């Protein structure tokens, strides 16, 4: 498995490098915003990935709740997957917010606007920060259950984030994949390369964190067994 992990890691890094090259050196300069538009080639792919991983987290969390009493080994694996995807979601949503602010300052003249898209996306970030705080600092045996409930609320927020610029009038640009924000054909290659790169890199990070959490779980189980035998 380690071999496949490192192959995926190398593949993802190569995609990130090629995506950077396409965005900076190949994609044309946008007519209205100029070179600042290039942030889009990272901002949108990161945000799309950030809206996918929460569903993996939510499904893993719900499955954990279902199996935690009947199939504890499977439940432990699902819990590890939930933790890993939550951490990657926090990273990706944070990057999405940061790149959005870097784009918004020169284009809007402000770092932040309390419109529906940005506010709902910030809420997603705060929900997952809360998730990780519960998992890392709560001493209650019910912490995984509480975190799983938070993941359900986060999953509900994702379609609100996605639909916000369709439901309400916002400062945020129109959707890229559908609607008035459609890309010029010459911009699609850079966008798609970066979308593949950031999604693959996210999977790589989830895989790495999952393996670490599983090792921690096994170490805790051995320590608990030794304590019982002592």
- pLDDT for the residue 30: 78
Q: Which domain holds residue 57?
A: 2-229
Q: How many domains does the chain have?
A: 1
- pLDDT for the residue 166: 78
pTM equals 0.91
> Low-confidence residues of the chain, pLDDT below 50?
none
Which position has the token pair 């984030």?
161
C-beta pairs of 188-192 under 8 Å, 24+ apart in sequence: 189/22, 189/26, 189/27, 190/19, 190/22, 190/23, 190/26, 190/27, 190/41, 191/40, 191/41, 191/44, 191/45
- pLDDT for the residue 142: 86
Kindly provide the b/e burial profile for residues 191-216, where b requires at least 16 CB atoms within 10 angstroms of the residue's own CB.
bebbbbbbbbbbbbbbbebbeebbee
- pLDDT for the residue 178: 55
Instruction: State whether residue 140 is helix, strand or coil.
Output: coil
- pLDDT for the residue 230: 64
Closest CA to 187 of 26, 39, 47, 49: 26
For 135, residues 6+ apart whose C-beta sits below 8 A from its C-beta are 83, 86, 143, 144, 147
What is the C-alpha separation between 197 and 79, in angstroms, rounded? 26
């Amino acid at each position: 498995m380690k071999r496949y992990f490192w192959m995926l890691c190398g593949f993802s890094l190569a995609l990130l490098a090629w995506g950077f090259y396409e965005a900076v050196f190949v994609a044309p300069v946008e007519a209205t915003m100029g070179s600042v538009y290039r942030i889009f080639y990272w901002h949108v792919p990161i945000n799309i990935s950030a809206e996918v991983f929460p569903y993996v987290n939510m499904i893993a969390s719900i499955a954990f709740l279902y199996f935690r009493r009947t199939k504890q080994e499977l439940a432990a694996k699902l819990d590890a997957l939930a933790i890993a995807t939550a951490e990657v979601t926090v990273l990706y949503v944070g990057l999405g917010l940061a790149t959005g602010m870097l784009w918004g300052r020169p284009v809007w003249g402000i770092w932040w606007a309390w419109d529906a898209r940005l506010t709902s996306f910030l809420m997603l970030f705060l929900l997952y920060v809360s998730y990780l705080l519960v998992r890392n600092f709560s001493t209650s045996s019910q912490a995984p259950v509480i975190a799983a409930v938070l993941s359900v609320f986060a999953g509900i927020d994702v379609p609100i984030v996605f639909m916000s610029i369709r439901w309400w009038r916002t400062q945020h640009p129109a959707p890229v994949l559908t609607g008035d924000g459609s890309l010029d054909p010459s911009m699609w290659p850079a966008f798609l390369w970066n979308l593949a790169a950031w999604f693959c890199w996210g999977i790589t990070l989830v895989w790495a964190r999952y393996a670490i959490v599983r090792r921690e779980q096994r170490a805790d189980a051995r320590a608990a067994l030794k304590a019982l035998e002592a």
